[in-house]
Amino acid sequence: MGPWMKPEVYPLLGAMTFVTGICIFQLTRSMLLNPDVKINKAHRKMGVLENQEEGEKYAEHGLRKFLRTRPPEIMPSINDFFSKDK
């Protein structure tokens, strides 16, 4: 990076780059896919959009459908080990 940046700054720079990337991803996703965001001029003129199917498609995305079939545990084997009665 150059002589003006100390090596101690690299982890902070990496973390800030990662968080900024997540923010940009979420803002772009919301702007392009969220049915409540009205970029199109024709949609902005309408007071209420009749897009219930689009809203359900946005809310019920693939990751949510996949996680619904999984148990609500992050590490089931460790949870089982520590939850056994002694």
pLDDT tens across 32-66, in order? 888 777 777 776 777 666 777 877 887 888 888 89
In the structure, what pLDDT confidence band is assigned to residue 80 with cuts at 50, 70 and 90? confident
Q: Produce one character per residue of 51-67: b if its CB has 16 or more CB atoms within 10 Å, e if not.
A: eeeeeeeeeeeeeeeee
Q: Structure tokens of 62?
A: 């693939």
Residues 6+ apart with CB under 8 A from 1: 10
Cα–Cα distance for residue pair 58/76, rounded to 1 Å: 30
- Please say if the pLDDT value at position 1 is more than 70: no
Q: What is the DSSP letter of 8?
A: G
Report H helices in 1-86: 10-33, 41-45, 52-59, 62-68, 76-83
For residues 41 and 77, the model is more confident at 77
